[in-house]
Amino acid sequence: MSEWISVEDRLPVRDIGPESENVLTYCVDKGCVQGFYCHDDEEWYDIYGRPLALWSTDDITHWQPLPEPPAN
């Protein structure tokens, strides 16, 4: 499993599409959710492109890349 990365150290690659980087985010009060960070509006989104409305950007403290899927 990957190490947690502080949002103060760096943020994931931006936006949906071929350059997207879906990650696992962590919030102390709410736990973990999969999503991505958009640098254009400085907001976190879930994997469907919906804003993480219940979470402010300040609530998310860490993230990590998703693990590789299992080999068949």
Pairing assessment for the beta strands 43-46 and 5-6 based on DSSP bridges: unpaired
- Coil, strand or helix at 58: helix
More confident residue, 57 or 33: 33
Q: Give CA–CA dist 62/9, Å, rounded.
A: 9
Q: Report d(CA 58, CA 8) in Å as an integer.
A: 10
Give residue 14's pLDDT: 61
Higher local confidence (pLDDT), 42 or 62: 62
**How far, CA to CA in Å, does 15 sit from each of 1, 5, 67, 70, 72?**
23, 18, 19, 25, 29
pLDDT band at 53 (very low <50, low <70, confident <90, very high): low
pTM, entire model: 0.74
CA 70 to mean position of chain CA atoms: 21
